Amino acid sequence: MRSRQILCPTDFSITASHALSYAVEMANLYGVGVRLLHVVSEPFSDHHYGLAVESAAELEQQITSFATESLMKIQLEVQQELNAGLTVKTVIRSGLVLREILAEAEEGEIGMIVIASHGRQGISHLLNPNIGEALAYKAKCPVLVVK
């Protein structure tokens, strides 16, 4: 962990922002960098984007543009919060969210994943998979799920 970055996947929600605060605190504690990840999920239909488009290709392009701009803003904020000498990097991947987070963790030699819980319960929890919960079982590194 001491030489590996902390991966913090984000969907740009308030809960993800809260998880990022934990990631920054841990990065400063361990003296490691932060890697922000956003996965453009398939199909391209997340309500956080607020986009109106005519085709799937146009939607993917606009989502990627939105994600790039949003990650750049977050990157600047996080860099100011990190101790001197620590870095924050951003990555955008496309595909199935769980698969892409796991791939980034392995390819990027990540020491820990800090992710927000979606906070769903009951039937909504059964119909919408909890990525944080799945990561805790499948990731090869420690996972902190933040409520």
Return the CATH number at 93: 3.40.50.620
Domains of the chain: total? 1
**Closest to 88 in 3D by CA, of 41, 135, 34, 49:** 34
Q: At what angle do helices 97-107 and 131-138 cross, to 10 degrees?
A: 40
- Tens-digit pLDDT string for the chain (147 aa): 567 999 999 999 999 999 999 999 999 999 999 999 999 986 554 454 555 556 777 778 888 999 999 999 999 999 999 999 999 999 999 999 999 999 999 998 899 999 998 744 444 444 456 888 899 999 999 999 998
Which residue range is the domain that position 19 belongs to? 5-146
Residue pair 13/116 in contact (Cβ under 8 Å)? The answer is yes
DSSP 83: P
Q: CA-to-CA distance for 122 and 120, rounded, in angstroms?
A: 7
Residue pair 3/106 in contact (Cβ under 8 Å)? The answer is no
pTM: 0.85
